Amino acid sequence: MGGTVSGLSTGKSVTLLDNGGDAVTVNADGSFQFPTALAQGAPYAATVGTRPSGENCSVTNGSGNVGTANVTNIMVTCSVRPLFGYAVNSNDGTVSAFTLDATTGMPTAIGSSVPVGSGPLSLTIDPAGKFVYVANANDNTITTLSIDPDTGLLTVVGSPTATGIQPYSIARTPNGSFAYTANYGDNTLSAFSVNTGTGALTALSAITAGANPYTVTINSAGTYAYVVNANSGGTTGTAMAFAINSSTGAFTLAGTAVNTGNTPEFIAVNPAGTYAYVSNAADNTIGVYSINAGTGALAASGSPVASGVNPFYISIAPSGGFLYVTNLLDNTVGVYAINSSNGAITLVQTVATGNVPVTVLLNPAGTFAYVVNGVDNTISAYSVDGTTGMLTAITGGSAATGNIPRGMAIVAVP
Three-state SS for the chain is CEEEEECCCCCCCEEEEECCEEEEEECCCEEEECCCCCCCCCEEEEEEEECCCCEEEEEECCEEECCCCCCCCEEEEEEECCEEEEEEECCCCEEEEEEECCCCCCEEEEEEEEECCCCEEEEEECCCCCEEEEEECCCCEEEEEEECCCCCCEEECCCCEECCCCEEEEEECCCCCEEEEEECCCCEEEEEEECCCCCCEEECCCEECCCCEEEEEECCCCCEEEEEECCCCCCCCEEEEEEECCCCCCEEECCCCEECCCCEEEEEECCCCCEEEEEECCCCEEEEEEECCCCCCEEECCCCEECCCCEEEEEECCCCCEEEEEECCCCEEEEEEECCCCCCEEEEEEEECCCCEEEEEECCCCCEEEEEECCCCEEEEEEECCCCCCEEEEEEEEEECCCCEEEEEEECCC
User: pLDDT above 70 covers what percent of the chain?
Assistant: 100
| Higher pLDDT among residues 179 and 235, named by residue | 179
What residues contact residue 219 under an 8 Å CB cut-off, 6+ apart? 225, 226, 269, 273, 291, 296
**pLDDT tens, residue by residue, 355-397:** 999 999 999 999 999 999 999 999 999 999 999 999 999 999 9
Give the pLDDT of residue 233: 82
pLDDT tops 90 at residue 413 = no
Between the alpha carbon of residue 49 and those of residues 2, 81, 356, the distances in Å are 15, 16, 46
What is the pLDDT averaged over residues 96-120? 96
Distance in angstroms between the alpha carbons of the first and the last residue of the chain: 30
pLDDT tops 90 at residue 325 = yes
Give the pLDDT of residue 290: 98
- Strand duo 83-89 + 405-411: pairing: antiparallel
Q: From the CB of residue 42, how many other CB atoms can be counted at a distance below 10 Å?
A: 11
Give the pLDDT of residue 150: 86
Please give the Cα distance from 348 to 342 (Å, whole number). 17
Give the pLDDT of residue 267: 98
What is the pLDDT averaged over residues 23-43? 96
Give the pLDDT of residue 320: 97
Give the pLDDT of residue 21: 95
**pLDDT tens, residue by residue, 298-307:** 999 999 999 9
Write the burial class of residue 136 (CB in 10 Å: 0-12 exposed, 13-18 middle, 19+ buried). Answer: buried
Please give the Cα distance from 201 to 221 (Å, whole number). 21
Please give the Cα distance from 161 to 252 (Å, whole number). 24
Please give the Cα distance from 210 to 227 (Å, whole number). 9
Give the pLDDT of residue 235: 83
Q: Which residues pair with 162 in a beta bridge?
A: 141
Instruction: State the chain's mean pLDDT as an integer.
Output: 96
**pLDDT tens, residue by residue, 251-290:** 999 999 999 999 999 999 999 999 999 999 999 999 999 9
pLDDT tops 90 at residue 164 = yes
Give the pLDDT of residue 54: 83
**pLDDT tens, residue by residue, 122-152:** 999 998 899 999 999 999 999 999 999 889 9
Give the pLDDT of residue 268: 98
Give the pLDDT of residue 80: 86
Band (81; pLDDT cuts 50, 70, 90): confident
Please give the Cα distance from 164 to 185 (Å, whole number). 8
Indicate the pTM of the whole model.
0.89
Band (82; pLDDT cuts 50, 70, 90): confident
Band (337; pLDDT cuts 50, 70, 90): very high
Cβ–Cβ under 8 Å, residues 325 and 339: no
Please give the Cα distance from 167 to 58 (Å, whole number). 43
Give the pLDDT of residue 212: 97
